[in-house]
């Protein structure tokens, strides 16, 4: 089943560069976190991301990728992923906003996403954000040599579904390295003990998209923005993680 896949493992030197990339990306995300507030437009957040990447002499990964028109994917409320920043989309108190960002540093990609509350949000929104973040953490904990891709998927899915939510099937995580999207695909659902066996040097972007309602999504007429079919809230978290001899090494986290 996996014969057609070419899963690259990275050398220690390559992982060191990817860790630099991840660190830079985490720094830009920290700047974005400070910029999220009621009254801010999604285009202003895109500008913060672009300036943060430029200041670090890195390169934005998403702009131009299959024609994506911006640096940052900004997905508000029922938007799941791939929202396009806009000067007319103003964040309001009570919104939740998913920020997905990638950059290139010395030829290697880093990719991570976080969903922020905008001002004070409902308990339901807070719970969804917390559960999605917890689902990501459960997935990251399975990025261990000898375990399988299905271990990650089942861990993510279990946390999300135990909280009463559903995981999106149409979009999945991915290997990452000299390309943004490498093998293997990393679904946010699955069966433990199945799928590709993880080995040291593999680097994965694990990225649960968790819906408060059903799992179905559709893409808007802009060709990019994915929204929940039932209009319910959705949250998205992502980290780039290396499988190492010493366990999971999350590259896109500060400290």
Choices 35-43, 132-140, 146-154, 238-246; region in contact with Mg ion by CB under 5 A: 238-246
For Mg ion, which stretch binds (CB under 5 A), given 49-57, 157-165, 198-206, 227-235?
198-206
Centre a 10 Å sphere on the Cβ of residue 3 and count the other Cβ atoms it contains: 5
Q: List the one residue out of 14, 13, 77 whose CA is nearest residue 42.
A: 77
Residue 36 · residue 118 · CB < 8 Å: yes
- Kindly state the smallest distance separating residue 234's Cβ from Mg ion, in Å: 14
Determine, following the binding rule CB under 5 A, whether residue 100 of this chain makes contact with Mg ion.
yes
Residue 79 in contact with Mg ion, rule: CB under 5 A: no
CB of 184 to Mg ion, least distance (A): 13
| The one segment of 52-60, 155-163, 208-216, 237-245 that binds Mg ion by CB under 5 A | 237-245
CA dist 193 and 114 (Å) reads 28
Give kind and range of the element (H or E) at residue 243: strand 239-244
Separation between Cα atoms, residue 74 and residue 26, nearest integer Å: 16
Rg, the chain, Cα only = 17
**Whole-number minimum distance, CB 79 to Mg ion, in Å?**
14
What is the smallest separation between the CB atom of 170 and Mg ion, expressed in angstroms? Answer: 14
- Decide if residue 182 touches Mg ion (CB under 5 A): no
Q: Can you tell me which of 14, 79, 95, 111 binds Mg ion, judged by CB under 5 A?
A: 111
Cα 173 to Cα 165: distance, rounded to the nearest angstrom? 18
- Residues at the site binding Mg ion, with contacts judged by CB under 5 A: 100, 111, 113, 205, 207, 238
């Amino acid at each position: 089943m996996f014969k057609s896949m070419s899963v690259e493992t990275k050398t220690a030197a390559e992982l060191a560069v990817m860790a630099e990339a991840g660190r830079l990306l985490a720094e830009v995300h920290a700047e974005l976190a400070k910029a999220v507030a009621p009254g801010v437009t999604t285009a202003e957040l895109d500008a913060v991301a672009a300036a943060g990447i430029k200041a670090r002499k890195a390169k934005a990964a998403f702009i131009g990728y299959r024609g994506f028109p911006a640096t940052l994917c900004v997905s508000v409320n029922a938007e799941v992923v791939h929202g396009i920043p806009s000067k007319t989309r103003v964040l309001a108190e009570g919104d939740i906003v998913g920020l997905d960002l990638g950059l290139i540093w010395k030829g290697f990609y880093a990719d991570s996403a976080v969903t922020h509350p905008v001002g004070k949000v409902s308990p339901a929104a807070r719970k969804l954000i917390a559960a999605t973040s917890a689902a990501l953490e459960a997935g990251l904990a399975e990025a261990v040599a000898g375990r399988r891709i299905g271990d990650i998927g089942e861990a993510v899915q279990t946390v999300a579904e135990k909280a009463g939510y559903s995981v999106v099937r149409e979009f999945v995580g991915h290997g990452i390295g000299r390309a943004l999207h490498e093998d293997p695909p990393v679904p946010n659902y699955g069966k433990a003990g199945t799928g590709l066996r993880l080995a040291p040097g593999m680097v994965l972007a694990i990225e649960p998209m968790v819906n408060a309602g059903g799992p179905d999504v559709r893409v808007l007429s802009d060709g990019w923005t994915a929204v929940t079919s039932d209009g319910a809230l959705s949250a998205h978290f992502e980290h780039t993680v290396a499988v190492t001899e010493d366990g999971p090494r999350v590259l896109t986290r500060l400290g």
